[in-house]
Amino acid sequence: MTEYTRPQSFDFGAATGQGFNLPAGKGYLFRVAAWSALLLVIVYAVLGIPVFKGFMGMISGAIEMEHSLTGADPDPEQVMAMMAPLFKAMGFIMLISLFQMAVFAAAETAIYRNLFHQEDRGIFPLRFGVDEWRVLGTRIVIGFILGGVYMGVYLLAFLIGAILFGLADASGSGILAALGGILIFALIIAAIAAFVWIAVRLAPASAYSVKRRAFDPFASWKPMEGLVWPAIGSFLILYVVGYFILGFVMVIVFLIFFLSSGLLGVFMELDETGEAMPDFTPLMDEVTSAGFIIPLLIAIFVSLFLTLIWYGAIWSMWGYMAKDKLPSTDTDPQT
């Protein structure tokens, strides 16, 4: 295995630009993002249709129920029948979420495998094996840890505040109430700071899981001890720049899509103020036509492609943080 040594001084340019300077070349991140976006578009297209039909069925059922009511409470069976398509759609939403988690884990792992082991699978750089399970598991565990820290500190602030305000109310002391408010505010600030600190210390753990090929959600805790502030700075640079670029491009892409589709005219022709139930047939015909679905999928692909480049740059930055020399006791078992 190739060993890396950390630069003598932290290089913000190298950290933030790591995604575009991977061993496989400047285009590797774009290749990973393109294939990941394509897989997700296919999943959305296959499983998104039942979701869309479920929501449209619920909306249609709600409007139909509203027009059939005569002032009496709705029949519970009618309500359940109206909600049934939504419940079915939620199952497909869960499947989409699981597929999305798997694709994102595969994309992140592909970047780390290339960064640390120079692996490049060619045109299609993705796979889902042991390394990907380690990355996915690490992300899930860290998510639970951060969620627990977040809820724990806020619960502590709530309990302390309740006690102090209770004592202030019982004693009639305005000073005690003011101190309680100040203490709660300080605890909230401390909670945010602790959350950010712990999140940054643990963020490169998935990179270490691929580098060392061992599942250890706390692998980055010690190595990140002196790199928290540079990591926060690098993350903010990538996050803010990527957020505004992605937001600007997505607004343009979806605005062009919406204005070029026939949806605006269909919505304007819907009669929702009359006594009769609105006719949604033109709307359904429009959104199920190839002229609507194909441009929509293209717009979704573009947004996903840009999002994955953004995420990939951030993942690569965490990989840069893990480019330190491994201890002699570390091994590199094959998967």
130-173 per-position pLDDT tens digit:
999 999 999 999 999 888 887 887 787 778 777 777 776 776 66
The 10s digit of each residue's pLDDT in 241-257 is 888 988 888 888 888 77
Provide the pLDDT for residue 150: 78
Provide the pLDDT for residue 210: 94
H/E/C letters for each residue in 227-291?
CHHHHHHHHHHHHHHHHHHHHHHHHHHHHHHHHHCCHHHHHHHCCCCCCCCCCCHHHHHHHCCHH
Provide the pLDDT for residue 172: 66
Provide the pLDDT for residue 325: 47
Provide the pLDDT for residue 184: 77
Provide the pLDDT for residue 335: 39
The 10s digit of each residue's pLDDT in 199-229 is 999 999 999 999 999 999 999 998 888 888 8
- Are the CB atoms for 327 and 233 separated by under 8 Å? no
Provide the pLDDT for residue 292: 73
Report the distance separating Cα 213 and Cα 109, nearest Å: 11
pLDDT at residue 265 is higher than 70? no
pLDDT tier for residue 258 given thresholds of 50, 70 and 90: confident
**Long-range CB contacts (< 8 A, 24+ apart) of 35-38?**
35/124, 35/125, 35/126, 36/103, 36/104, 36/106, 36/107, 36/126, 36/304, 36/308, 37/301, 37/304, 37/305, 37/307, 37/308, 38/301
CB atoms within 10 A of CB 62: 15
pLDDT tier for residue 327 given thresholds of 50, 70 and 90: very low
Give the orientation angle of helix 76-117 with respect to helix 28-68, to 10 degrees: 180
Which phi and psi (to 5°) does residue 22 adopt? -80, 160
The 10s digit of each residue's pLDDT in 299-317 is 889 999 999 999 999 999 9
Provide the pLDDT for residue 329: 35
Report the distance separating Cα 224 and Cα 307, nearest Å: 26
Which residues sit opposite 22 in a β-bridge?
25
Report the distance separating Cα 296 and Cα 47, nearest Å: 15
Residues 6+ apart with CB under 8 A from 186: none
Mean pLDDT of 266-295: 61
pLDDT tier for residue 326 given thresholds of 50, 70 and 90: very low
Provide the H-helix boundaries in the chain.
12-16, 28-68, 76-117, 130-171, 174-202, 205-211, 228-260, 263-269, 281-287, 290-321
The 10s digit of each residue's pLDDT in 15-70 is 888 989 999 888 899 999 999 999 999 998 888 777 776 666 666 666 665 555 55
Higher pLDDT, 54 or 293: 293
- Are the CB atoms for 52 and 287 separated by under 8 Å? yes
